[in-house]
């Protein structure tokens, strides 16, 4: 893929430089924390929530982090036509290939992610976390987690390295880390403001502690070094989602010690 991108811009020295550097989402100056970001496709209803992924990358860049994005090389659970909100029955897509759209081509198979190469890991939300990284969307508390997702979350936890999750992805930590504290926002729908409020009960059923937080906040489990934020579990303005994700990223970087 990289070779194709380079070939496509072969005639322009400026564009060739942009291609070479496009994959590095970092701040200016010295590199700080090395952060892995795990994607689950491209698009809120069947993959990564794109606004959340972008917000994470912006905040990491401002924090001076060095970022590498990963995704599992697996088929999506299904494909949703986002203009209709309905399954596209005849389509099939690959999670790694779709995630590469967000990563501007600079994406690595999740099987190659090693905790020794990173200081922290972050999982954006989107239904892909509940459909592709796990079966939570179908099985709820009885869900299974993708083997490599399970491996990396447990590896980072064992190594005492921070784990950030937002939106629906905190259910991954709730499933894998007994007694962990997470937030998915509020526990009541409040007239539709929190349409996925029922997820909090599923978090509790998984044996985790749910902590009520607003969309602009993050919860920090100091013991487990897990940082979570509600993000689009709430129906609110985009800049407020951005701020909440910023709180999550800031605390992840703080816990990394970099």
Mean pLDDT of the 171-198 span: 97
Residue 90 pLDDT level (bands cut at 50, 70, 90): confident
Token output for 121: 């890991």
Q: Which of 23-27, 30-34, 207-211 has the lowest mean pLDDT?
A: 23-27
Instruction: Return the SS3 of 121.
Output: strand
Residue 118 buriedness (CB in 10 A; 0-12 / 13-18 / 19+): buried
pLDDT given for residue 30 in this prediction = 56
C-beta neighbour count of 223 within 10 angstroms: 9
Mean pLDDT of the 178-201 span: 97
Does the structure show a pLDDT above 50 at 2?
A: no
Options 42, 166, 167, 234, the catalytic residue = 167
Beta bridge partners of 221: 226
Query: What average pLDDT is seen over the chain?
Result: 91
Measured CA to CA in angstroms, residue 155 lies from 143, 161, 171, 219 at distances of 20, 9, 17, 21
pLDDT given for residue 31 in this prediction = 63
244's CB contacts (< 8 A; 6+ apart) are 166, 214, 215, 216, 217, 218, 229, 230, 231
Instruction: Return the SS3 of 177.
Output: coil
pLDDT given for residue 111 in this prediction = 98
192-217 per-position pLDDT tens digit: 999 999 999 999 999 999 999 999 99
Crossing angle of helices 50-62 and 95-102, in 10° steps, is 50
Q: Active site includes 166?
A: no
Does the structure show a pLDDT above 60 at 174?
A: yes
pLDDT given for residue 89 in this prediction = 85
- CA 160, 242, 21 angle in degrees (round to 5)? 75
112-130 per-position pLDDT tens digit: 999 999 999 999 999 999 9
pLDDT given for residue 171 in this prediction = 98
Beta bridge partners of 134: 145
Does the structure show a pLDDT above 90 at 186?
A: yes
Mean pLDDT of the 80-93 span: 90
Does the structure show a pLDDT above 90 at 11?
A: no
């Amino acid at each position: 893929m990289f070779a194709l991108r380079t070939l496509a811009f072969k005639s322009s020295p400026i564009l060739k430089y942009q291609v070479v550097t496009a994959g590095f989402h970092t701040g200016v100056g010295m590199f700080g924390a090395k952060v892995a970001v795990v994607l689950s496709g491209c698009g809120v209803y069947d993959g990564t929530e794109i606004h959340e992924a972008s917000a994470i990358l912006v905040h990491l860049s401002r924090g001076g982090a060095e970022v590498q994005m990963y995704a599992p090389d697996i088929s999506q659970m299904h494909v949703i036509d986002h203009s209709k909100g309905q399954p596209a029955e005849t389509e099939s897509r690959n999670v790694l290939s779709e995630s590469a759209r967000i990563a501007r081509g600079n994406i690595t198979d999740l099987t190659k992610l090693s905790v020794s190469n990173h200081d922290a890991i972050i999982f954006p939300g989107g239904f892909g976390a509940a459909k592709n990284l796990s079966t939570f969307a179908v099985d709820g508390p009885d869900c299974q987690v993708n083997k490599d997702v399970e491996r990396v979350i447990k590896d980072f936890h064992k190594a005492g390295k921070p784990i950030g999750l937002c939106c629906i992805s905190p259910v991954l930590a709730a499933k894998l880390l007994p007694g962990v504290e997470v937030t998915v926002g509020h526990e009541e729908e409040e007239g539709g403001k929190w349409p996925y409020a029922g997820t909090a009960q599923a978090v509790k059923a998984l044996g985790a502690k749910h902590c009520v937080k607003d969309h602009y906040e993050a919860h920090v489990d100091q013991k487990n070094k897990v940082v979570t934020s509600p993000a689009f579990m709430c129906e609110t303005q985009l800049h407020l989602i951005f701020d909440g994700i910023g709180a999550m990223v800031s605390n992840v970087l703080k816990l990394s010690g970099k």
